[in-house]
Amino acid sequence: MSQNPFLVPYSTPHQTAPFDKITNADYLPALKEGMTQGRSDVAAIVNNPAKPTFENTIVALERSGDLLGKVTSVLFNLNSAETSPELQKIVKEASPMLSEYRNDIGLNEKLFARVKAVYDQRASLKLNPESAMLLEKSYKGFARNGANLDEKGKERLRAIDKELSQLSLQFGENVLNETNEYTMPVTSEKDLAGLPDYVLEAAKATAKQKGKEGWVFTLQAPSYGPFMQYADNRELRKKLYMAYNGRSFHGDKNDNSATIQKIINLRYERANLLGYPTHADFVLEESMAGSRTKVQGFLDELVTYARPAAERQLLELTTYAKGHGFTEDKLQAWDNSYYAEKLKKEKYDLDDETLKPYFKLENVLNGAFTVANKLYGITFKERKDIPVYNPEVKTFDVFDKDGKFLAVFYGDYFPRPGKRSGAWMNDVQGQKVENGENIRPHIVNVCNFTRPTDTKPSLLTFYEVTTLFHEFGHGLHGMLANGTFESLSGTSVPRDFVELPSQVMENWCYDPEALKLFAKHYQTGEVIPNELIEKIRASQNFMAGMANLRQLRLGLIDMYYHNQKPTGETVSQVEGRVDSVANLFPHVDGVAISPAFSHIFAGGYSAGYYSYKWSEVLDADAFEFFKEKGGLDNKAAADSFRKNVLEKGGSEKPMELYKKFRGREPSPKAMLRRSGLIL
């Protein structure tokens, strides 16, 4: 045990995780020791003869289980970004133990009695807002997770939580397997017509890596997306579309249909057990929206704006396609990106092939750093001596404007077989104040961008540029965190507030001043011309109605599963109901969104996917404030956003924080204007 790197003080820079020393054999012993220590911490609270106080009960509970948090943050980060069959096996063994551990604490009657005793005297404690929030969250955490149940109810809750943890892991593994196992080899050059050189070069490199002749396309985003946009061969577009949208929906070992039914049934049973009509009621009680009625109404109202715009745009796209050789009555889903890319090129003389040379990955990342510097005064300095879990990961020290150390930032940007698809932000160490020391966070951004080739560096599509800025916005929420309690720090906020910092950052990708800071031709160093910037801005709302409808479709699918008693309908039946309202393309057998909808079945967004649209209301309104008084030079807006949003985490109610930043509640009109859905 003495050799286990988790069980000795880290000797790395800033006490970062010693990824170079951690082996798979270290996890389970360290987890078990962490749980032992955590249970000992809780026992000390429960057996304290002194009467319950905020310090000896609430703060003590907040500080318990440090070692366990240290181990799980590394384990689950790696299970997403650098997994392997062996690591997946460890996580499967660990998850039910962790579920049991959490329930041992959450269902501890004596511990809850002490927490309730403090909560009942809250009016007389004169706590500051952050401490008051910790007390409220602590009490609700017990009440919302079974502390008031009888013994039979508690046992059932334990069984449900254990099964849910395993099902969620299985769901994610199945999607990863499906994504990794599929390849589409192409050996005839005529089947490659329309594909840009950068796509062909990447496909050739993939074929070489897999020991195959010709070109190989995969379901990874940098391969799938460009193929659907540019490939003239409609049959191959359909083939790749069916593979991507049929992931975990083939009735085989990776099929998630039965897993979905089990998950939604267990979530519903769990909510009922705790006194809530539905899983959505349970989740949304603690959200900014507050109720499933509010969320459903929000989504339904946005559909009334988005659908007419989407119908007009689909008609325009269909007319264009028919004028360019399309002979069928209706476009299929695998025609959408292809003809949209061509129409965009014709309308705005703009495509990714034109823009990519200006978006070298290193330049875009430096651009995000520079925007953060101009807004908040922070700086980034790359380090080579911080251990990483993969050689591709870059690390940076982050400093405040006065030179004070703020955070460690890890950037991980390319797809690998052990990395799940998509993009996300995590922390390996959270921020908190303990024993008078402000312990600074270690933040990770993980993405899946276009790899460098033998002849070109990593050149990003504009979508990838906005994705990098989005995840970096989450990163800033973590890096600038400045609270006392880790459970309220950084991104520990309601789901429908957490996307505000990330989506605010995306706006700078369309801002001329910001673009000129980093959009420089990778060969000539030429700053992106004004003409191209205007085209980017002019095309910002291109097909926005269809894009909005797609996001609303995902939110409605999520709510259909979670805002009522499970109907027993199949995945296809559920999606068919939603598609009657929020999908304009013809139905295709053999594909479905749900079996690979990891956000809601393997992530934390169940009954919360609406958050992306909800946060768009916030970010559009917030960005108007930045632009009102000087854009990047609007120090009043930047200082207020940092002080009231980025630093505060979940220490106060989200609406109160937003009003402190903006001076008023958000207006949805800014989002509708930006999307071109109203004038």
* Angle (CA) 173 175 180, round 5°: 95
What totals of helices (H) and strands (E) does the chain contain, helices first? 27, 9
Classify residue 488 by its DSSP letter: G
Element (H, E) at 530: helix 530-538
Q: Which pair of structure tokens corresponds to residue 54?
A: 């905020």
| Helix, coil or strand: residue 183 | strand
Residue (of 483, 385, 470, 471) closest to 440 by Cα position: 483
CA distance 142 to 271: 14
**Alpha-carbon distances, residue 668 vs 302, 498, 540, 608, 619 (angstroms):** 10, 17, 18, 19, 10
Classify residue 340 by its DSSP letter: H
Query: Do 675 and 617 touch, CB atoms closer than 8 A?
Result: no
Tokens 């994705």 correspond to what residue? Answer: 467
CA distance 520 to 366: 11
| Helix, coil or strand: residue 249 | coil
Classify residue 643 by its DSSP letter: I
Q: Note if 471 is an active site residue.
A: yes
DSSP per residue, 132-184: HHHHHHHHHHHHTTTTTS-HHHHHHHHHHHHHHHHHHHHHHHHHHHHHHH-EE
Backbone angles phi, psi at 243, to 5 degrees: -65, -45
CA distance 561 to 679: 34
Query: Do 461 and 230 touch, CB atoms closer than 8 A?
Result: no
Q: Which residues does 132 contact at the CB level (< 8 Å), separation at least 6? A: 122, 125
CA distance 182 to 661: 47
Residue in 471, 506, 624, 647 annotated catalytic: 471
Residue (of 48, 97, 47, 110) closest to 71 by Cα position: 97
Q: Which pair of structure tokens corresponds to residue 612?
A: 């992306």
Query: Do 480 and 445 touch, CB atoms closer than 8 A?
Result: no
Chain length of the chain: 679
Q: Tell me the catalytic residues.
A: 471
